[in-house]
Structure 1
Amino acid sequence: MNRIPLLKALRHDRWVRPFLKKYRWTLVLAISLGILTFVCAGGLMFTAGYLISRCATMPFNILLVYVPIVLTRAFGIFRPVFHYAERLTSHNWVFKMTSMFRKRLYDSLEKDAVFFNSKYRIGDILGLLSEDVAHIQNLYLRTIFPMLVACGLYLIIVIALGALTPWMGLLMLILFGLIIFGIPVWSILVNGARQEQEKEATNRLYSDLTDNVMGITDWVLSGNSSKYLQRHDSDEKKLLSSQRKMHRFNNFRDFVLQMLILLVIISLVVWGSYHFGGHWGANWIAAFVLCVFPLDEALAGLPVAAQQTNVYTDSLDRLNSLPEPSKEQQATPQIEAPYQIDIDNVSFQYSSDTEQILQHLNLQIKPGEKLAILGRSGTGKSTLASLIRGDLQPTEGQITINGELTDKFGDQIANYIGVVHQSPYLFNTTVLNNIRLGNEDATEEDVWSVLKRVGLEEKIRQLPDGLNTKIGEAGLIFSGGERHRLSLARILLKDVPIVILDEPTVGLDPLTEQRVIDTFMNELAGKTLIWITHHLQGIDAMNRVIFLENGKITMSGTPQELWENNPHYRKLKKADQGL
């Protein structure tokens, strides 16, 4: 049998254990309230059982009935009070913990946010952001809390009964030990492996089904559709077989659990008859037996909760594989205009087992220069833009602005470099909020000013609520060219000295493309402009053109120089113009 995966994962855990220690007193309070809840529930059944059986006989003293009535009312009132307080405390503890938990998670992911897909699978990303935090919450609420509450009740029962009768205390130590520890561990070891097999089988079945349905035409044309169906049926039968085994085990485990609880009840009946024999013995026997039933609520869910730790372990493993958030606050470089970008012997590859995207690149971009970077898709143009912004670090060499490494600026790089992407994203909020992303302190007059400059003032004024009009999901009320103009408006509102245009005219018709290019050139006059494109329309407005191929610069010069001296450039431009 395998060792319990959760215990192995917790040994070097950085995500669960620290919060258990940091909020230990709130945790102790929540567990104490949980124990008191079940103590009151047991006390309610105990006094009710005693009272019912006692009232069946003629009491010789009214206090024998009055005191249990008072205790029944007290336990009946305090049980929901403690239960509510426990839920309030435990959920508040978990939400407070997970707020810091999420912050730490996003701090860990922030380093790799730009090229996340190069290091993590899409499934891992979705798991981290949508499931793993919820899994850790459930680990606390559905496993750790119930288990600790059960342990507290375990100690109370064993000590209380052991004080009355040592052999009864020893028997309860064994029986409740099997219920609280033995069966959950048994469930983890047996069904945990089956859970893993079920998950793998489900993933394989889903992957095969997706791939094969996408290629169903090939299966039919090749005459092998029956083989596909047979393989699918075989995989499905294996999955169903694994699930049936899990269900059979769960039913058998629950039967064993209930038999142990029944054994506890029988033990109490025998012990009560022996210890409280005589005329009043039946009253105490009923009280002790009924007292056990609320414990079933606290104990019956432990095996299922323990079994779920196999699911939580995957989340813990993924989280602990993330980089530790940096605690050092690096000073942001302070630079002043004019701003010069130097690319010195820069090479870059996403990982050691992939090809180099850029190879020993050397380039100097002077203040106010308009540089066009040409090249086919996949030649590293956008990667170079990310390196210039400091979102990526070069594998070799360095990129600096006025002598300062761009990757040292952090978020402050936005004060110096703005980017207009291929598909500018507009959020589902007002026009005003979307444009103010460039400068949150800008006034409405400032916003109208930049809208006028990009040629959208009239369009916005015609909207139902003007600047307060909701754009809608992905900004679909605007055309492609208008979305690029709104993106430019953000840049103008920020007034950064360096602007990167990352193929901003892709997908636009020629007339719209030219109008957008003219707007960019007019409004960004005087700024350093880096235009990444594979399309040569408007290229003559640039000061310099470079061509990237296989990660290297294969041509460089002014548009006029390249037209006169470079046959390859002339061929590209003629092809672009349809000549």
Structure 2
Amino acid sequence: MSTRDALLADLRALRRIWPLLGVSRRRLAVAVAWGTLALSAAVGLAAVSAWLIARASQMPSVLDLTIAVVAVRALGIGRGLFRYLDRLASHDVALRGAAHLRERLYSALAHGRTDAVATLRRGEVLRRWGADVDDVGDLVVRAVVPALVALVVSLVAVGIVGALSPLAGLVLAACLLLAGLGAPLLAARAVRAAELDGAAQRGRVAAQAMTVLDGAAELRVGGRLDPLLGELADAEDALRRTRDRAARPAALAQGVTAAATGLAVVAALAIGAAQLAAGSLAPVELAVVVLTPLAAFEGVGMLAGASVHAVRAADAARRLTDLLDRARRPATGAADPAVGAPAVVAAGLAVGWPGREPLLRGLDLTLAPGRAVAVVGPNGSGKTTLLLTLAGLLPPAAGEVRIGGVPSTALADGAPSVVTMTAEDAHVFDTTILENLRVARGDVTEDEAREVLALAGLGAFLDRLPDGLDTVVGAGGACISGGERRRLLVARALLSPAPLLLLDEPDEHLDPETAERLLQDVLALREAGRGVLLVTHRGAASLAAADDVVDLGAVAAAPGVVPMLERSA
């Protein structure tokens, strides 16, 4: 991609994401105003100081210097004060923009296609919610405000110099234009090469390093360690060469700014000296014409860094808008269809991740209140993918899933009223037990919490805790065992208003006795009128209490056929 095409692509990405920041024009104008005053104070300080020094050398009356002395003091104090107010206002705009962007993302994804997030790895989700949103939010304080401030202050500096020497002002404008355009373009090219073009090399280095670290012993035994270390060294060399190539335009960008500054000062000195000899410029004015450009380039000097952040923000914006595009549902102009009797019915269902071959086909399954269904099978047979599809989080690869009598693909907000899913790696938050339970329903009372914990087999555990429901669990709280964590997640699922529960591996990583008790407790939930579908690795012998046991283990041997062992209710 050429530099021009890359620049246009970045501008399009930033233009698309800008409305999602919800930036207030008034707040932005205030931030730009304070930034302009801060930098203008620096330019004014240079100009007044130059005049004061030159005029003082002529030994005039002290009264002739009083105003200039006061102005120097005022501009020196004002520069620091205005810089503080600039930082306060610009960061206020940036933080509000990032918060607004996250809110829009949450809203769009909550009401959009859930497979847009379900198909992302956890690290990718964290990157978009964290670093990507921060990069786009910082666009205001690191790119937009500095660019507008540099433009205004450059015009002020050219106006000051041009009022004393029009030719010197014209040369200063040309040098500012050179530094304000050339340096940012070179810096953008450098960061694009170093960070964007180098992404493939960084990924290759990371993948090779993880392979070596995870399997060093096996690789050495198999004689593959040395070749892999050689490949890792080659990948690091390629990454280093990419960084070296990126360093050249970055260094050149710094050189352009320094060269433009020097050229402006030398040209001002030459032009001013000639005008001084001709009598059209006073000696005091010559000092102002020569020294003012030094401060004027402080503004355009920030543009290289601004362009670097703009490139990063554009890259982040592309990832965020791509996520929003994939989450966007087709506009139908109608609300969700009304759901009927609580049931999940799969007919001729094939499940798989979008863009990949289905993991299993031909599944017919019904889950209703008062029934318990177990799904068993080896790793990779599609158990978790099946649960995501039955919960309406993934679209069927073929066939149909009806939730409350409505096709799952036609529901945006209605599915949670019928069915809820607890994933194997569902999060236990670093807060109290009660607040962890309120994730499912915000109005859970303490009595309801104790009742559901007892139902999930945690009554004795709760009685042993000194703070009861106020005990903090999670990373920074009390230690809970794997079985207690699983039961807490089951209790949270029970508090959901949905009558149908989908539980993924509730017995995973537990000792056999604990796992068996937990499975029996989960299957017994049907007695309370709940419908339960659980995924497990355990064989059918451990699931005698289930109404139906769906065995996915024979799918590879008989494609398109999913064996089901019917059991009496």
TM class by shorter-chain length?
0.7 to 0.9
User: Cα–Cα, structure 1 residues 89 and 48, in superposed 2: closer, same or farther, change >3 Å?
Assistant: same
Other-structure match for 2:547: 543
**CA positional deviation for 1:35:** 1.9
Show CA shifts across 1:10-40 (max 9, x none). 2355544436895334323322322222111
Question: How far apart are the structure 2 equivalents of 1:73 and 1:44?
Answer: 9
Other-structure match for 2:68: 68
Q: Find 1:339's aligned residue among 311, 320, 342.
A: 342
Say which is worse superposed, 405-414 or 285-294, in terms of deviation. 405-414
Contact residue 179 and residue 257 of structure 1 kept, 8 A: yes
Other-structure match for 2:481: 479
Aligned pairs for 1:558-577 (under 5 A) are 558-559=566-567
Aligned pairs for 1:260-275 (under 5 A) are 260-275=260-275
Aligned pairs for 1:110-509 (under 5 A) are 110=110, 111=112, 113=114, 116=117, 118=119, 120=120, 124-189=124-189, 192-193=192-193, 196=196, 198-217=198-217, 220=220, 232-244=232-244, 246-247=246-247, 249-275=249-275, 281-324=282-325, 325=328, 331-335=335-339, 339-352=342-355, 354-422=356-424, 425-473=427-475, 477-494=479-496, 496-509=498-511
Question: How far apart are the structure 2 equivalents of 1:404 and 1:423?
Answer: 29
Other-structure match for 1:59: 60
Question: How far apart are the structure 1 equivalents of 2:221 and 2:368?
Answer: 60
Other-structure match for 1:9: 10
2:19 aligned with 1:18 = yes
**CA positional deviation for 1:46:** 1.9
**CA positional deviation for 1:318:** 1.9
User: Cα–Cα, structure 1 residues 226 and 264, in superposed 2: closer, same or farther, change >3 Å?
Assistant: same
User: Cα–Cα, structure 1 residues 383 and 474, in superposed 2: closer, same or farther, change >3 Å?
Assistant: farther
Contact residue 194 and residue 246 of structure 2 kept, 8 A: yes
Contact residue 15 and residue 101 of structure 1 kept, 8 A: no
Say which is worse superposed, 235-244 or 509-518, in terms of deviation. 235-244
**CA positional deviation for 1:132:** 1.5
Contact residue 344 and residue 401 of structure 2 kept, 8 A: yes
Question: How far apart are the structure 1 equivalents of 2:500 and 2:525?
Answer: 13
What's the TM-score once normalised by structure 1's chain length?
A: 0.83
Question: How far apart are the structure 2 equivalents of 1:365 and 1:228?
Answer: 50
Other-structure match for 1:577: none
Structure 2 residue identity aligned to 1:96? R
Show CA shifts across 1:30-60 (max 9, x none). 2232222211111122222222332333325
Other-structure match for 1:79: 79
Q: Find 1:533's aligned residue among 515, 532, 536.
A: 536
2:91 aligned with 1:91 = yes
2:73 aligned with 1:39 = no
Say which is worse superposed, 139-148 or 36-45, in terms of deviation. 139-148
Structure 2 residue identity aligned to 1:97? G
**CA positional deviation for 1:468:** 0.9
Contact residue 420 and residue 484 of structure 1 kept, 8 A: no
Question: How far apart are the structure 2 equivalents of 1:2 and 1:92?
Answer: 33
Question: How far apart are the structure 1 equivalents of 2:523 and 2:352?
Answer: 33
Contact residue 498 and residue 527 of structure 1 kept, 8 A: yes
Say which is worse superposed, 247-256 or 46-55, in terms of deviation. 247-256
Identity across aligned pairs (percent)?
27
**CA positional deviation for 1:64:** 1.9
Show CA shifts across 1:60-80 (max 9, x none). 5x5421221232233233323
Contact residue 429 and residue 436 of structure 2 kept, 8 A: yes
**CA positional deviation for 1:432:** 1.5
Question: How far apart are the structure 1 equivalents of 2:497 and 2:347?
Answer: 27
Say which is worse superposed, 107-116 or 250-259, in terms of deviation. 107-116
Q: Which runs of 5+ in 2 are unaligned?
A: none
**CA positional deviation for 1:430:** 1.0
Question: How far apart are the structure 1 equivalents of 2:567 and 2:446?
Answer: 40
Contact residue 339 and residue 414 of structure 2 kept, 8 A: no
Show CA shifts across 1:255-284 (max 9, x none). 442232122122333344455666993333
Show CA shifts across 1:193-221 (max 9, x none). 46655544444334334334545456655
Structure 2 residue identity aligned to 1:37? A
Which secondary structure does the structure 1 equivalent of 2:416 belong to?
A: helix
Other-structure match for 1:564: none
- Counting matched residue pairs gives 557
User: Cα–Cα, structure 1 residues 480 and 186, in superposed 2: closer, same or farther, change >3 Å?
Assistant: closer
Question: How far apart are the structure 1 equivalents of 2:116 and 2:477?
Answer: 25
Contact residue 547 and residue 553 of structure 1 kept, 8 A: no
Question: How far apart are the structure 2 equivalents of 1:43 and 1:227?
Answer: 64
Q: Which has the larger radius of gyration?
A: 1
**CA positional deviation for 1:383:** 2.6
Say which is worse superposed, 240-249 or 505-514, in terms of deviation. 240-249
Which secondary structure does the structure 2 equivalent of 1:101 belong to?
A: helix
Q: Which runs of 5+ in 1 are unaligned?
A: 562-579
User: Cα–Cα, structure 1 residues 231 and 560, in superposed 2: closer, same or farther, change >3 Å?
Assistant: closer
Question: How far apart are the structure 1 equivalents of 2:137 and 2:395?
Answer: 35
**CA positional deviation for 1:436:** 2.6
Say which is worse superposed, 82-91 or 303-312, in terms of deviation. 303-312
**CA positional deviation for 1:254:** 2.9
Question: How far apart are the structure 1 equivalents of 2:231 and 2:520?
Answer: 59
Say which is worse superposed, 45-54 or 288-297, in terms of deviation. 288-297
Question: How far apart are the structure 1 equivalents of 2:379 and 2:199?
Answer: 38
2:516 aligned with 1:514 = yes
**CA positional deviation for 1:469:** 1.1
Which secondary structure does the structure 1 equivalent of 2:380 belong to?
A: coil
Structure 2 residue identity aligned to 1:384? L
Say which is worse superposed, 145-154 or 206-215, in terms of deviation. 206-215
Question: How far apart are the structure 1 equivalents of 2:486 and 2:364?
Answer: 30
Question: How far apart are the structure 2 equivalents of 1:243 and 1:29?
Answer: 39
Which secondary structure does the structure 2 equivalent of 1:321 belong to?
A: helix
Other-structure match for 1:571: none
User: Cα–Cα, structure 1 residues 236 and 266, in superposed 2: closer, same or farther, change >3 Å?
Assistant: same
Which secondary structure does the structure 2 equivalent of 1:530 belong to?
A: strand
Structure 2 residue identity aligned to 1:319? L
Contact residue 273 and residue 281 of structure 1 kept, 8 A: no
What's the TM-score once normalised by structure 2's chain length?
A: 0.84
Show CA shifts across 1:180-199 (max 9, x none). 11232244346744665554
Question: How far apart are the structure 1 equivalents of 2:343 and 2:192?
Answer: 59
Question: How far apart are the structure 1 equivalents of 2:309 and 2:225?
Answer: 38
Contact residue 481 and residue 512 of structure 1 kept, 8 A: yes
Structure 2 residue identity aligned to 1:527? R
